[in-house]
Structure 1
Amino acid sequence: MVIPVHDVNPVRRTPWVTYALIAANVLVFLSTPGIAGSVAGESQLAQLCHLHAFLDHYAAVPRELIHDQLPGVVPTGEVAVGPNGPGCVIGRPDYDKSPALSVFTAMFLHGSWLHLLGNMLFLLIFGNNIEDRMGHVRYFVFYVVCGYAASYGFAFLNDESADPLIGASGAIAGVLGAYLVLYPRARVWVLVPFLIFLPLRLPAWLVLGFWFVLQAVYSSGEGVSEAGTVAYAAHIVGFLAGMLLAWPLKPGTPPPPEPRGLLFGRRARPRHTW
C-alpha cells in the first residue's frame, strides 16, 4: 500500500469546504462518548457502553436502511452488574431515528485515530482540487451524494447486517474517483514501504488505480483475514459514483501543470521551448 503525502496540482481558490469537513470530522471524533470517556478516566466497559449507545443512535445500519426496521431494544449507555457480572444495560430507545439521516451523521463518525487520520489525509490531498474544479457548493453536494451512494450500495449488498456503518471513506472514495477522471496525469508524491519508506512521484492514475484494485481485492476477502471489519464495497461504490458524477466536467478541466525535478525517483530531462 502506498501512502500519498502531496500532489503537484495547485488550486486557484482556498478549499474552505474541505477544511470545514476535516475540522468537523475531528471535532465529532473528539466529542464521541467513547473517546471523551477515555480522556475523562471512565472504565473501559463504561466507554464501550456509551460508544455502543451513541453508534446505535447516529450510525447507519444496513438492515435499517433497506428494511426501515429499527431495533426494539438498544444499549442505553449505562452499566449494571448482573448475575454474570457487569454489562451494558439494554432498553427501549428513547429517541426517534431516521435511517436516511443516519447516513449523513455516520459520515462524520470514526472508530479510531488511525481511521480518522487516514481518511482526512486522503481528503486533504485530493479534495482541494475537486472543490476548486466544482466550486464550494457543488463540491459539498457531490461529497454528500457520494457518501449516500456508498452507504446505500453497501447496504443493498448486506441488507441483513446489523453492524453500524461509520466513516467518511465512502464519500472520500467519491473524491478519489473524481480526481482520477479529472486529473489522471497529475503527479502525486507517495511513500512506498520497501525496507524503508521510499518517496516516489507517481501519476495519479497509477496511485488511485492501485488503490481501487486493492479495495476490490479486499472486498472479495482475498489478502485480508477479516474483510468484514472494513466496508470495502462501500469504497468501490463511492469511487464509481465519483467517477460518474465528475465525467461531465472532464472536457472543460485544464490539465495539471507539468512537474519538474524528480520523476519516478530519477531526475527528469529538462525541456526546452523555442
Structure 2
Amino acid sequence: MFVPILDDAPVRRIKRPWVTYGFLAACTLIYVVFQSGWFGPERAGAVVSLGLIPSVLFGDAVLPAGYEVAPAWTTLVTSLFLHGGFLHLAGNMLFLWVFGDNVEDDLGHLRYVVFLLLCGVGAGIAHAVGAQNPDAPLVGASGVVAGVVAGYVMLHPQVKVWVLLFYRLPLRLRAFWIIGAWVVFQAGNALIAGESQVAWWAHVGGFVTGAVLVVALKRPDVRLFDHDLRARIQRRSERTGQEPA
C-alpha cells in the first residue's frame, strides 16, 4: 500500500539509536549468512527449528527428530530474527529504520529493548491463538515492527512522514493518517484473510502490545500524542507572531 521513506521527527535525547541499529544488523546478518544461500547452502531447517509453530508451542505436536534445538517457548523470540525472503526482510527493516529511532529516543535504550522483545512475544501469542494453520512456522520481525509503529503513532501522530503511495507516488502526510490506514488494512486482513501466508494476527497483536507498552515504558518527561510538539510550535508562534500551521 505504501512505503515509508523518512520522517520529520529529530532524535533529541540519545546520540544514536543503537538498539535499532543492532536489531537491524542482527536480522540482516542472520538472513545473509543462514537464509539467503549467498554464502553456502541455505539452512532451511532453521525455520522449522527456530520459527514459531503454534501446535508445538502449545504442546499439541513435536518437531521431527533432529530439529528441536531449544525449548518451544524460546521460538517466541528466535522467530523474530528469521525472515521468509529478501523482500520480507527489507520491508520490515525499512519500517524499523524510519520509525524505530524516535521510539527508542522516547523510551531510552534499555526500556526499548524490553519493548521490542515484548512486542514480538505479544505478536507471536496473538498469531498462535488465531492461526488457521497451527503447523506452519511463523518467522519475521513484523510483529515487532507493528509494535514500533503503534508506539510511534501514540507519541508522534502529528509528525509528517514521507511515503511512496502504491510504491510510486511520493507524499508527505501526518503519521496519524498513514498509520491509521495501515491499521485498518492489517485488521481487515486479519478478519477476512483465512489461511493466508501472511500472519495478520501477529501484526495486530504486536500493534496492540506496542500501544499498551509505550504508555508504561516511555520516559517520565515524554508526553503522548505530540503534546510536546504542539507546545514547541505554540511557543515559536508566540515569539515570531505567526499563526501555527
**Structure-2-length-normalised TM-score:** 0.85
Once the two structures are TM-superposed, the CA of residue 257 in structure 1 deviates from its matched residue by: 5.2
Match of 2:201 in 1: 233
User: Greater CA deviation, 146-155 or 245-254?
Assistant: 245-254
Match of 2:121 in 1: 148
Deviations 1:205-264 (A, max 9, x none): 111111111111221235xxx852010110001001101111244984253758xxxxxx
- Structure 2 unpaired stretches of 5+: 231-236
Match of 1:265 in 2: none
Match of 2:234 in 1: none
Once the two structures are TM-superposed, the CA of residue 68 in structure 1 deviates from its matched residue by: 6.2
Match of 1:219 in 2: 190
| Distance in 2, Cα, partners of 1:272 & 1:252 | 24
2:51 to 50, 59, 73: 59
Q: Is the 8 A contact 1:6 1:188 kept in 2?
A: yes
Once the two structures are TM-superposed, the CA of residue 97 in structure 1 deviates from its matched residue by: 2.7
| Distance in 2, Cα, partners of 1:11 & 1:177 | 18
Between Structure 1 and Structure 2, which shows a larger proportion of helix residues? 2
Match of 2:240 in 1: 273
1:179 to 139, 152, 155: 152
Q: Is the 8 A contact 2:122 2:206 kept in 1?
A: yes
- Structure 1 unpaired stretches of 5+: 74-91, 259-269
- Report the RMSD for the aligned CA atoms in angstroms: 2.4
Secondary structure (helix, strand or coil) at the match of 1:220 reads helix
Match of 1:78 in 2: none
Q: Is the 8 A contact 2:148 2:207 kept in 1?
A: yes
| Distance in 2, Cα, partners of 1:116 & 1:103 | 18
2:161 counterpart of 1:188: yes
- Paired letter, 2:3: I
Once the two structures are TM-superposed, the CA of residue 69 in structure 1 deviates from its matched residue by: 3.9
Q: Is the 8 A contact 1:66 1:156 kept in 2?
A: no
| Distance in 2, Cα, partners of 1:238 & 1:95 | 26
Match of 1:2 in 2: 2
Q: Is the 8 A contact 1:182 1:250 kept in 2?
A: no
Match of 1:93 in 2: 66
Change (3 A) 1:63 1:95: closer
Q: Is the 8 A contact 1:4 1:188 kept in 2?
A: yes
Change (3 A) 1:271 1:198: farther
Alignment of 1:252-267 (within 5 A): 252-253=221-222, 255=226
User: Greater CA deviation, 121-130 or 196-205?
Assistant: 196-205
Aligned residues: 229
| Distance in 1, Cα, partners of 2:204 & 2:132 | 17
Identical-pair percentage: 36
Q: Is the 8 A contact 1:215 1:232 kept in 2?
A: yes
Secondary structure (helix, strand or coil) at the match of 1:215 reads helix
Q: Give the structure with higher Rg (CA).
A: 1
Once the two structures are TM-superposed, the CA of residue 198 in structure 1 deviates from its matched residue by: 2.0
Between Structure 1 and Structure 2, which shows a larger proportion of strand residues? 1
